[in-house]
Amino acid sequence: MGLRLRPAPTTATVRRHALVDSPIGPLALVEEGGALVALSVEGAREGPVPPSFGARDDELLPHVREQLDEYFAGRLQEFDADVVLHGTPFQVRVWNALAQIPYGTTGTYGQVARTVGAPRAAQAVGAANGRNPVSLLVPCHRIIGAGGRLTGYAGGMARKEYLLRLEGVLL
């Protein structure tokens, strides 16, 4: 099945969130209308739990929580979930391109810029990558700099390295 990425609805809906423990720290899963709209790690720009995440309900999105457990155990390579992306049209194009980068591989900002039809927009891709609201499922950690350099990650470089090692990219 895979991810089902949808644009944001035109009308506001109620948000709720769940907190989940993980090897990279607490994660906040934010749900809106039955779909995941944010997955945030503590210490990231919007780490758990801004008021915009809504009321807490740790029973939300059990299928996503189970898949995260399987991912961190090294048994899941592709998430299966409904995801609603709130962002500019350019950001949404970038996030859709990120979602196409397979487990265990990496891409560069330049490659993503070419994929979204903006070959000179590597820096803009970097900015959109850093604002990815659904980290892990939309794998912004798989983006590296030209020449294979590890570059910034909203959740911190130690987490990026951990995730790339988990996926077998870094040995």
- Rounded to 5 degrees, what angle do the CA atoms 75, 145, 45 make? 70
The CA–CA distances, whole Å, from 79 to 34, 50, 67, 147 equal 16, 25, 7, 28
132 is catalytic: no
User: Which helix (H) or strand (E) segment is 143 a member of?
Assistant: strand 143-144
CA atoms of 136 and 38, how far apart (whole Å): 10
- Of 36, 140, 163, 166, the catalytic one is 140
Residue 108, strand partner residues: 144
Q: Phi, psi (5° rounding) for residue 5? A: -90, 130
The residue with tokens 């990815």 is 132
- Residues with a catalytic annotation lie at 140
